[in-house]
Every structure is written in structure tokens, then in C-alpha cells.
Amino acid sequence: MVKSKIKLQTKKLNVWYGNMHVVKDFTLKIPEKKITAVIGPSGCGKSTFLRSLNRMVELVPGARVSGEILLDGENIYDKDVDETEIRLRIGMVFQKPNPFPKSMYENVAYGLKVRGITEEKKLRLLVEESLKKVGLWEEVRDRLNRSALELSGGQQQRLCIARALAVKPEVILMDEPCSSLDPIATAKIEDLLFELKKDYTIVIVTHNLQQAARVSDYTAFMYAGKLIEHGRTEEIFERPKDKITQDYITGRFG
Amino acid sequence: MKLGTRKKLSEQLEDLKSKTMEMGALASTAVEKAVESLVKRNVRLAKKVIKEDDKIDDLEFEIENNCMHVIALQQPVAKDLRTIGTCLKIITDLERVGDRAVDIANITIEMAGRAPVKPLVDIPRMAELAVGMLRDSMRAFKEGNSSLAFELGKRDDEVDRLAHQVTRELFSYLVEDPKKISDAVRLMLVASFLERIADHATNIGERVIYMEKGEMVRIN
């Protein structure tokens, strides 16, 4: 079904929070430089699934993970793998824009500095490159030293995406990136996704089914912790095979 | 899991389906009456068929409009979307069926007052088959019955065979008596109109299969 090269792959992934079994035997292939949308009702485990893809789920007390997640064929949960390194290769953008209460410049340069880049000229160049990628450069170039909190919600979210891009990740995870944005800011982010998928593999979790239909190449439908159906987005939205998928995407589900 | 939400969308889809059914019933009756007018040389009935085609045309616009509203306002997907797509395609076929009925009714009027070319046997038989197919295609649509839809392909072959037969037979009349040429040609047209109507029924059958299974197949 998935013909492109596989960037990220989960095999029999299970996640528990204490006794709560949240993700169940989840096996999914995520193709390179494509957008994969994960949809499903609230509480079905999709955010947990997303957070397990870059080991962020380990930050939750009591969380336990079994199974494999392969990034270019290597299991990211292997003991000798450095999770910080993984989070640099697999970046994340959250539901609400969460810029640091610092200048716009510092926000984007932050990850680079963590990576040990200190040369001012190089930092400037990389910050500019990231801001250009998200279409924010022209809007903020004259006020880079002003607080990021001055920006509108949509601009803040694009700044957060620029921050994630600055460290040159290979995969970007997005958890409801447009849910707090108006339609115009949403459209800008969606346009940006089309640009970004030329260079990055993107996994997006969304409640907005129309958004999943508009932006993604592949859609995975998750229900009660399980992967119910996965396929090309047009197949899922035009002729889903599973009755539960059909009921969910047509909204006959309560 | 509790089903039955999206009440408004469900109601709108039901309404679309019942209007499309109504259009199908009008188109089927129009063909039946048009052929009856031809057989019984009843000009009054022919004129009635022509006049009532307006209802079919109006319904086409109304249904198309409603489909657009539902798409714009409800963003349907999966089977809901396929149902709307099917309605949009079916109404084009039904509108054309109505037009063919009008064509046949016009031929009744044109042939009035002249001695018949021949007693009509195969044409009423063709009409019966074609109208039967049309009614069954609409029943398949109403019930979501794809096996009934699938059979239409085979039934269409029988209509095609009869159309050839009628044409061959009329051809011999045409050679025999030059005075009969114009009416023999008109009856050939009627046979080809009925053959087209069966094709429209077959198209409707294909759309029903798509609506039900999401697969686009040719059944004839």
C-alpha cells in the first residue's frame, strides 16, 4: 500500500500509563517526505502515539512502552540511543503555540545553541533560513529582538515551526497545530505543510477531518488505542473499508 | 458505539434520494406513455408527455442545487459523498430519458393521420424491457441493491438485440415501399431511443454499485 521509502515505522507498539493500556499493538509505516494524518475520537490514544514517536512519552511519570519504533530501520528505544538526539531528529509542534518568553531570534536560535552552535554569523544565517521556510521572515525581519509574545497566534505557531526546523530534523510531529488558529492562519500553516513535505516527513494528529483530508497523503484511523484502518487519504475519505472508520468520518458516532 | 448522529445530514440525504426516486418514476412513466401514444396513435397523450417533461427538467435542477448545498454545508465524505455523487450522475441520465420520451412523443404527432407502416410488436416489447430496467435501476438505487444493479448489464443485451431486429425488419419495409420511407425511419429512431434508454438504466446501475461498494465498474 505504501510505496515510498519508509522513514519511520512502529511494530507492535504498546504504551501504558500505569495500568491504563493506551496504545495497543500499533503497527504503522510512515513514508518519507509525505504527510501522514492520524485521526480518531478524543481519548483514542493518538496524542500518546505521537508522543511515543520521539520518546516524549517517557517524560510522563508511570509511562511504559513496548514494541519497536524504527527510524531509518533503527529502533529508537534501544538502550544505547540518546533520546535527546532522537528529539533533534524528530521535532514536535504542539496544539497551542508555545514560544519561549524570549525574543523571536532567541526562540529560533535556542535549539541551535543547545546543539553547540555559538558563532553569531552562522546562527543569524540559520535563523533567517528557518524563518524564511515558514514565510515569517518578511513579517519579522525588522523586529527580531522583540518578544515572540508580541506575535499573533498564527505567527507564533509559524515561529514554533521555525524553531523546530532550525535544528534540521528529519521528521516533524504535529499535535493539532491549527486548533487554536483562525481560518486564515490555518490556511497559511496548511500551505506551509505542502512546502515542508518536500524536505521532511510529517505526522499530524488532528480532530479536524477536513484538514486531514486536505493536507495528508496517508491517513491512519485510530480507535480505542488500536489502528483500525490505514491507507491513502482519498481511499479513507471516499471508500473506507471498515465500518467503524465509515461511521467516524461521516460523523455517525457518538 | 451509538449511531444516528448528524441527523440533519441524514435527513438531507433521504430527501435527495426520495426526490431522485420521484424523478425516476416520472421518467419511467414518460417513456411508457410515449410508447403507448405511438402504439395507439394518441396525439393527446403524446402532447401530455411533452408537457410533463418540464417537471422532470425542473427536478433535475432542484436536485442538483440541493446536492451542492449539502456538499457546501455538510462536507460529506465516504458513503454520504458517494450517495450525492450518484444522485448527481443519475439525474443527468434521467433527464435524458425524459428527453427521449419527448422525442418518441413527437414522432407520434408526426406520424398521426397516416396509415401505419406495420403493426408494432417489437417496439412495445423493447419499451417494456427498457422501462423495466429503468424501474429496477431506481429500485436498486433506493435499496442499495448492487446485485440487482449488476444484472442490468445482461438485460441491456436483450434490448440491443431487439433494436437490431427492429431495424432489420424496418429496412425491408423501407426497400419495399418508398412511400413508407419517412415513417420507417422514424420507427428506427424510436428503436434507437429505447436502446439508449436501456443504456441510461445500465449507467444508473453502475452508479448504484459505486455508491454501495466504492468501485467503478462497467457492467456492459
pLDDT (tens digit, 9 = 90+) per residue, A219-249? 999 999 999 999 999 999 999 999 999 999 9
Indicate whether B93 pLDDT > 60: yes
CATH topology classification for B3-213: Methane Monooxygenase Hydroxylase; Chain G, domain 1 (1.20.58)
Partners of residue A244 in chain B, C-beta under 8 Å: 1
Buried b (16+ CB within 10 A) or exposed e, B13-40: beebbebbeebbebbbbbbbbbbbbbbe
Indicate whether B2 pLDDT > 60: no
Burial (CB count <10 Å: 0-12, 13-18, 19+), residue B11: exposed
Instruction: Check: CB of residue A53 under 8 Å from CB of residue A26.
Output: no
Determine which of B75, B77, B83, B210 to mutate to test the interface with A (most A C-beta atoms within 10 Å). B77
| Mean pLDDT to the nearest integer, B159-166 | 96
Say whether B213 and A246 touch across the interface (CB within 8 A). no
Give the number of other Cβ atoms within 10 Å of residue B58's Cβ: 11
pLDDT (0 to 100) of residue A112: 94
Chain A nearest C-alpha distance from B69 (Å): 17
Q: A254 or B10: which carries more pLDDT confidence?
A: B10
Say whether A252 and B3 touch across the interface (CB within 8 A). yes
Say whether A252 and B76 touch across the interface (CB within 8 A). no
Q: Is B2 on the interface with A (CB under 8 A)?
A: yes
Q: Could you tell me the CA-to-CA distances from B45 to A60, A118, B15, B34 in Å, in that order? A: 80, 92, 31, 7
Give the number of other Cβ atoms within 10 Å of residue B75's Cβ: 14
pLDDT (0 to 100) of residue A172: 97
- What single letter denotes the amino acid at residue A31? P
Indicate whether B141 pLDDT > 60: yes
Say whether A254 and B5 touch across the interface (CB within 8 A). yes
Cell of residue B165, nine digits: 431486429
pTM: 0.84
Instruction: Check: CB of residue A192 under 8 Å from CB of residue A135.
Output: yes
pLDDT (0 to 100) of residue B177: 87
Average pLDDT, chain B: 95
Cell of residue A80, nine digits: 544505547
For residue A39, the cross-strand partners are A221
Buried b (16+ CB within 10 A) or exposed e, B164-198: eebbebbeeebeeeeebeebbebbbebbebbbbbb
Say whether A213 and B77 touch across the interface (CB within 8 A). yes
Say whether B5 and A252 touch across the interface (CB within 8 A). yes
* Residues in chain A, pLDDT under 50: none
In chain A, the residue whose alpha carbon lies closest to the alpha carbon of B215 is A239
Which H/E stretch holds residue A229? strand A226-232
In chain B, the residue whose alpha carbon lies closest to the alpha carbon of A41 is B1
**Cα–Cα dist A86/B95, whole Å:** 61
Say whether B5 and A240 touch across the interface (CB within 8 A). no
pLDDT (0 to 100) of residue A2: 53
Instruction: Check: CB of residue A176 under 8 Å from CB of residue A205.
Output: yes
pLDDT (0 to 100) of residue A1: 53
**Cα–Cα dist B81/B74, whole Å:** 10
Q: Could you tell me the CA-to-CA distances from A17 to A48, A192, B18, B111 in Å, in that order? A: 10, 34, 51, 84
**Cα–Cα dist B40/B7, whole Å:** 49
**Cα–Cα dist A156/A149, whole Å:** 7
Indicate whether B1 pLDDT > 50: no
**Cα–Cα dist A178/A157, whole Å:** 8
In chain A, the residue whose alpha carbon lies closest to the alpha carbon of B84 is A238
Digit-coded pLDDT (tens) for A99-114: 999 999 999 999 999 8
Report helix, strand or coil for A201: strand
Say whether B78 and A249 touch across the interface (CB within 8 A). yes
pLDDT (0 to 100) of residue B4: 55
Cell of residue A204, nine digits: 499530524
Cell of residue A171, nine digits: 521528521
The percent helix, strand, coil of chain B (3-state, each to 5) is 85, 0, 15
Residues 4 to 23 of B: which have CB under 8 A from any A CB? 4-6, 9-10
> Residue A250: which of B1, B2, B77 has the nearest Cβ?
B77
**Cα–Cα dist A212/A236, whole Å:** 11
- Could you give the residue ranges of the DSSP H alpha helices within chain A? 46-52, 83-89, 104-114, 120-133, 137-140, 153-166, 183-196, 209-215, 233-238, 243-249
pLDDT (0 to 100) of residue B178: 86
Say whether A250 and B79 touch across the interface (CB within 8 A). yes
Partners of residue A249 in chain B, C-beta under 8 Å: 77-78
Q: What does A143-170 look like in DSSP terms, one character per residue? A: GTTSBGGGS-HHHHHHHHHHHHHHT--S
Residues 111 to 150 of A: which have CB under 8 A from any B CB? none
> Where do the structural domains in chain B lie, given as residue ranges?
3-213
**Cα–Cα dist A166/A187, whole Å:** 22
Determine which of B79, B210, B217 to mutate to test the interface with A (most A C-beta atoms within 10 Å). B79
Chain B nearest C-alpha distance from A38 (Å): 17
Q: Could you tell me the CA-to-CA distances from B73 to A206, A249, B91 in Å, in that order? A: 21, 16, 21
> Residue B79: which of A209, A246, A253 has the nearest Cβ?
A246
Q: Is B48 on the interface with A (CB under 8 A)?
A: no
Size of interface A-B (CB pairs under 8 A): 49
pLDDT (0 to 100) of residue A153: 93
Lowest-pLDDT range, A5-19, A135-149, B85-99, B164-178? Answer: B164-178
